[in-house]
Amino acid sequence: PKCKEIIAELESKGSTDENLLAAGRASFIAGDYASSTRLADSVLERQPDNLVSLLLAADTATRLAVQTEDDAHYERAVDLYSRILAKDPANLAAANNLAWTLGINLGKEHRAMEEILRRVPAAAQASPTVPVDILDTLGTLHMRMNQLDKARTYFDAIIQRDPDNATAYFRVGQI
């Protein structure tokens, strides 16, 4: 209820792109993916290269793809993340989320797994230290491909950096 009030207030302040995106993020957090999509798309109509809107729309499409198992949402998310990476190849959030989005649909996905794994490290090269969530995505994808030695390398790197990371220990236990 409180989130809906915040969204209504943001939308009532005027339709500046900043207000629309703030309302879109609030809608996303509230689980109102229809509103999140509508608001992100309204900004993209005016600014098709707006990276914040592209990321919000892609993240929303990913959630809808998982929730509904609708291939149209899945394909939209992949397209939007790919657009972001075409404009900003070092965008770690988009690279990680694209890899994860492709990875959740491995059974249906016709793209080669190597392509998925290629995208994240390419973006991560611009970062002096690869964030833990990127390492987790890479390890998880290798695990799903039954490349357990490679997966273990990523999880060990997480543990070396963050010895209290319970998720990494859990994933090592899954191997």
pLDDT number for residue 169: 93
Q: Tell me the CA distances in angstroms from 33 to 23, 53, 62, 74, one per residue in order.
A: 11, 14, 10, 14
pLDDT of residue 109: 46
* Cα 42 to Cα 75: distance, rounded to the nearest angstrom: 20
- At 80 the pLDDT is 94
Q: What's the confidence (pLDDT) of residue 57?
A: 92
Residue 38: per-residue pLDDT? 86
Q: Please give the pLDDT value at position 76.
A: 92
pLDDT tens for the chain, 175 residues long, are 566 676 667 667 667 888 788 878 888 888 888 888 988 898 899 889 888 889 889 999 988 988 888 888 888 998 999 899 889 887 888 888 887 787 766 554 435 456 666 666 655 554 556 778 878 888 887 887 788 898 898 889 889 888 999 999 999 998 8
Residue with tokens 């990494």: 168
Tell me which amino acid residue 166 is.
A
